[in-house]
């Protein structure tokens, strides 16, 4: 039912690999988000894009590099990750309208394992 | 005070029971509040948005008490399928959504 899609569903990568996570939304939302979630914990915000521009970076290490090619797409490029980066990576999107805060809609996530 | 605080549970209830979760928040300027449910190994799904004093959707009722800075979620006639973690979400002063730690609900036959 979700209108936010993410690929791949699962990803296993070594510490020297480079990979990318992809997210797409078709709701016309102009804000998109990356979250990281560990087991039994709430999602932690990583990045926010507003009108395709990076507006928030929550002091995320540079081995995570976000990209927003257009208003529907969001990528997260991964390089030289550590085993502790293994987690569920969630993409979300929301409306954007002045100072109002709207509900966010999440994609199904990519379950990442770093070996 | 934590920005958003929830009782982690778990709440173990029989089918048909009524169960209520509370959530306290620190940002007195918040105008919108959200409840999400999250099933094991799945994404959070929006359950309810609250913009005024409360909201009701079938068996689910959310109530907001601005003076005491808490919101509650009431589930009536619990079903087995209601078993999940319920996340209370409140924007902070910068507009970011702050998630509570989640309350785990287990509905037993």
The confidence band for A98, taking pLDDT boundaries of 50, 70 and 90, is confident
pLDDT value at residue B95: 78
What are the phi and psi torsion angles at B51 (to 5°)?
A: -115, -20
Asked whether residue B94 carries a pLDDT value surpassing 90, the answer given is no
Q: Under an 8 A CB cutoff, do A104 and B97 touch?
A: yes
Distance, in angstroms, between B39 CA and closest chain A CA? 11
Residues in chain A with CB shorter than 8 Å from the CB of B99 are 42-43
The distance in angstroms from the start CA to the end CA of chain A is: 32
Q: pLDDT tens, A35-76? A: 999 999 999 999 999 999 999 999 999 999 999 999 999 999
pLDDT value at residue A69: 96
Of the candidates A56, A52, A67, the residue with the CA atom closest to the CA atom of residue A22: A67
Q: What is the mean pLDDT of chain B?
A: 94
Asked whether residue B17 carries a pLDDT value surpassing 60, the answer given is yes
Residues in chain A with CB shorter than 8 Å from the CB of B37 are none
Of the candidates B108, B20, B85, B90, the residue with the CA atom closest to the CA atom of residue A40: B85
Of the candidates A29, A30, A2, the residue with the CA atom closest to the CA atom of residue B43: A2
Residues in chain A with CB shorter than 8 Å from the CB of B43 are 2, 90, 106-109
* C-alpha torsion B32→A67→B42→B102, nearest 10: -40
Asked whether residue B1 carries a pLDDT value surpassing 80, the answer given is no
pLDDT value at residue B55: 92
Q: Under an 8 A CB cutoff, do A45 and B97 touch?
A: yes
Q: pLDDT tens, B35-66? A: 999 999 999 999 999 988 889 999 999 999 99
Contact residues for B69 (Cβ-Cβ < 8 A; gap 6+)? B24, B25, B26, B28
Alpha helices in chain A (DSSP H): none
B31, B43, B100: residue with CB nearest A42? B100
Distance, in angstroms, between A14 CA and closest chain B CA? 22
A32, A42, A110: best mutation site toward chain B, by most B Cβ within 10 Å?
A: A42
Q: What is the mean pLDDT of chain A?
A: 94
Give the whole-angstrom CA distance, residue A40 versus residue A20. Answer: 25
């Amino acid at each position: 039912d979700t209108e936010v899609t993410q690929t791949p569903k699962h990803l296993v990568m070594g510490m020297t690999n480079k990979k990318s996570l992809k997210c797409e939304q078709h709701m016309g939302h102009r804000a998109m988000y990356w979250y990281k979630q560990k087991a039994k914990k709430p999602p932690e915000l990583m990045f926010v894009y507003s009108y395709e521009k990076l507006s928030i970076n929550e002091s995320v290490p540079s081995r995570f590099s976000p990209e927003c090619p257009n208003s529907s797409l969001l990528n997260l490029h991964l390089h030289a990750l550590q085993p502790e980066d293994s987690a569920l990576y969630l993409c979300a999107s929301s409306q954007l309208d002045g100072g109002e805060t709207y509900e966010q809609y999440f994609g199904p996530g990519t379950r990442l394992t770093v070996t | 005070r934590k920005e958003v605080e929830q009782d982690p549970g778990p709440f173990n209830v029989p089918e048909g029971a009524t169960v209520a979760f509370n959530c306290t928040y620190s940002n007195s300027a918040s105008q919108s509040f959200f409840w999400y449910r999250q099933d094991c190994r799945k994404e959070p799904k929006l359950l309810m948005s609250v913009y005024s004093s409360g909201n009701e959707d079938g068996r689910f009722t959310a109530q907001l008490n601005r003076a005491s800075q808490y919101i509650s979620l009431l589930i009536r006639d619990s079903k087995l399928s209601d078993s999940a973690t319920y996340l209370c979400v409140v924007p902070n002063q910068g507009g970011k959504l702050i998630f509570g730690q989640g309350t785990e609900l287990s509905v037993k036959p």
